[in-house]
Structure 1
Amino acid sequence: MQILNFTLPLGLGWMVSSAQTRLDSIQQAFLPTPNNTATTTAIMAYTLPKLPYSYDALEPHFDAETMEIHHSRHHQTYVNTLNAALEGQSDFSALAVDDLITKLDQVPADKRGTVRNHGGGHANHSFFWKNLKTNTTLGGDLKSAIEKDFGSVEAFQKEFETAATKVFGSGWAWLVHEDGKLKVVTTANQDSPLMPKSISGASGYPIIGLDVWEHAYYLKYRNKRPDYIKAYWNVVNWDEASSRYEQKK
């Protein structure tokens, strides 16, 4: 059997080689390089965290439609706006968002308002999602500390509910740990106790926090904020709260 040696004609071989060169050039132009990847990472320094549960997991206390809108639209807007504000500010965009808002007084003045509102919104909501879960129980050292600092769990809950109800407009109610004690504080808008006290008016390390913006409850509770606040006790992730307390006590 005779094996034929096949050789491409000179012109056709040049065409194949040229096509391969053009293909390599296209791939280099469109596939991300390390530099392109770094640039993308810098621009998108902050991302929307995934929820550790489904949107309907907190039913009937927090409804699925509100959770979906709250997470995928409101929180996403805070992330997008924060990234846009910090574009080109690598010293700040490289920070974890909790660290960023502790340094809010160091952010350039023309960026500070946006970072306060949207960095605060991103930090507060990232904490809020982790702080929600059904069927957990307050106990251990955190329960003992609440009883010591407030007199009883019921007294703490009453103080927290009163504070959350009295927030005028939009804001947050918090249980925080500071100087060896637990206390209830509130902040306006998307301010956080982690921010400098001169900016937020509050201080302390958050143990739990409740969003009392209307977008957090209006679809289910309408104007009945006190009902929403009472429902919160059914979805507090006391395991997460206890862990945070242990870290800071």
Structure 2
Amino acid sequence: MNLPTRDRGRRPAPHGPGSRLDEHLETSRLAQHQADRWLISGSLLIGTAALGFFGLPLFLRGVWLLRKAARDGLTVRPMLVTLIGYLVIIDAAINTVGWALDTVANHTLLARVLLNGWGNMFDAGYFWHYNELLIGGAAGPGEKAMEVGMILTVFTMRIAAGIGFLQMKRWGHQWMIITCWMGVLIWCVYVFNMTMYADVRFAGVVLPVVGWWLYDIFYITPFLAIPYLHSVNREIFSD
């Protein structure tokens, strides 16, 4: 039977397994993209430290969307990969923003309020002889070397590794392992530096040693990723 002129050259819409797979993958991609928009927005706000309370609801909304997509049978990124990747990025961003403020924006009103207020509450290293060194900001011994060194190396590397990890790239997984172990070294060095100059950093603050440990616990959370990174099936990550 001849088709009408307007229908010639057209192919009937496919209804086989291939089309259903394509539709499933496209739906999964859109669901993953929608969740990531909320997760990224929340992470950006949490990473500034000052706006963390506004970012947390957005981040939790993204987690809920991702879990809903997984329950609906869509092919989305594993939840553990998502949580570890974003946690590492947030950890690096908080350090980078805080230390960048202290290094290059130490005369701004924002830095004076946040860093001096932080020093008055927890760590007098951000209150003691502020803006009296060649490079302004905190004057605690060892602080400036760690700020400059870590911003230019580990924390930028960690953000890049986290992005690759969330994209399920093998190089992202490998660099997550490297930067998380480097984070263990950083944490040990920083705690030692704090302890050596305890008379400077914990004197006259509202919440001394106990308060510092309460907020510092957050910085050991990327360490919890190390067992997973070493034990996960690496085949789930692609080149």
What's the TM-score, normalizing by structure 1? Answer: 0.28
Q: Which has the larger radius of gyration?
A: 1
Which protein has the bigger helix share?
A: 2
What's the TM-score, normalizing by structure 2? Answer: 0.29
Which protein has the bigger strand share?
A: 1
